């Protein structure tokens, strides 16, 4: 298992952002759904080794991220796209992706080819030499995706990756996700249920820091039968589970 989580919690003062999550995931595309403030981003940041847990057990890629050596090895094999991607306005697309390839300690000789491949996969070849300050929000999101996949990660964590992408790009991105999920564990945090239905093999739904549903998209859809709220079957399942969790 690439992700092993048991009883994981995270507090911010009095606020319990993550309240005892249990989760295991191997290769495949894993969707993390939930309303705003459900704890998705905090959970993802703990998996990205950015945020230490308050309590519980967390193992990534069969390693303990609480120790320096294993954490460094995890980070070499990790791809992470944060919800709010900061960027250097004067960097070009290639310079930005290369910067993070180097910070991931990729062998320097491999970096140019890896950067070119990541930029092409993110459909940014025509903008490779463009300064980041000249790009649109959707293009910047794709730059973030390119830096996340540049090291061909075994664990890829994407926080709202399709925000700002147009419909055509979202379709292409889901195809990329399915491709990456062949060998890596891809965790996609989103509130867009159609992304989950099209690309994910498993899905967890979070509410108030807890996982209130875990299963396949088809199982989530089945939970919505006879439930009136939502335009699409998966949305009805999402809404039915949340309604039940809140009652």
Partner 1 sequence: MMQRPGWDTAPPDVDLRGVWTAVAAQVWRRRPGPAERLAARLLRSPGLARALVTTPSLLLGWVIASVAVLAAGAAATLETGTPYVALLAPAFAAAGIAYAYGPGIDPAWDLSQSMAVSHRMVLLVRALAVFALNAAFGLAATAASVLAGSGTAAAVTFGWLIPMTAVCALALAAATLARSANVGVVAGMAGWGIAVLAGGATAGRFPVLTDSALILPCLAFAACCALIAFYATRSPRGTS
Question: Where does this chain touch partner 1 (CB under 8 A) — which range of 67-75, 208-216, 217-225, 233-241?
Answer: 67-75
CA 19 to chain centre: 20
* Region 139-198 residues binding partner 1, contact defined as CB under 8 A: 147, 172-173, 175-176
# residues near partner 1 by CB under 8 A: 60
Rg (CA), the chain: 18
Contacts for 247 with CB less than 8 Å, ≥ 6 apart? none
Distance CA 121, CA 239 (A): 34
Nearest in space to 65 (alpha carbons), one of 38, 45, 42: 45
Question: Where does this chain touch partner 1 (CB under 8 A) — which range of 35-43, 90-98, 208-216, 236-244?
Answer: 90-98
- Here the tokens at position 116 are 């070119």
- Here the tokens at position 75 are 């980070």
Question: Where does this chain touch partner 1 (CB under 8 A) — which range of 15-23, 81-89, 185-193, 201-209?
Answer: 81-89
48 is a contact residue toward partner 1 (CB under 8 A): yes
For partner 1, the closer of residues 95 and 227 by Cβ is 95
Nearest in space to 181 (alpha carbons), one of 21, 31, 6: 31
Contact residues: partner 1, CB under 8 A = 46, 48-53, 55-59, 64-68, 71-73, 75-76, 78, 80, 82, 84-89, 94-95, 98-100, 102-105, 108, 111-113, 115-117, 119-123, 125, 128-129, 147, 172-173, 175-176
């Amino acid at each position: 298992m690439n992700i092993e989580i048991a009883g994981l919690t995270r507090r911010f003062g009095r606020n319990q952002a993550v309240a005892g999550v249990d989760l295991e995931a191997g290769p495949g595309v894993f969707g993390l759904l939930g309303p705003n403030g459900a704890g998705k981003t905090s959970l993802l940041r703990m998996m990205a080794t950015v945020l230490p847990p308050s309590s519980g057990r967390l193992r990534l890629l069969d390693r303990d991220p609480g120790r320096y050596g294993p954490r460094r090895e995890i980070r070499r094999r990790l791809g992470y796209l944060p919800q709010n991607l900061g960027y250097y306005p004067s960097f070009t697309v290639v310079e930005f992706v290369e910067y993070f390839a180097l910070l991931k300690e990729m062998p320097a000789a491999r970096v140019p080819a890896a950067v070119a491949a990541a930029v092409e996969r993110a459909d940014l070849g025509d903008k490779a030499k463009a300064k980041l300050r000249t790009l649109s929000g959707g293009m910047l999101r794709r730059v973030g995706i390119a830096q996340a996949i540049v090291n061909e990660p075994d664990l890829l964590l994407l926080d709202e990756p399709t925000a700002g992408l147009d419909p055509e790009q979202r379709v292409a991105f889901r195809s990329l996700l399915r491709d990456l999920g062949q060998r890596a564990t891809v965790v996609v945090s989103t509130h867009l249920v159609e992304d989950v239905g099209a690309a994910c093999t498993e899905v967890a739904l979070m509410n108030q820091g807890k996982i209130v549903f875990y299963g396949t998209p088809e199982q989530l859809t089945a939970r919505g039968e006879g439930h009136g709220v939502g335009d699409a079957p998966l949305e009805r399942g999402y809404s039915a589970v949340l309604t039940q969790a809140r009652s």
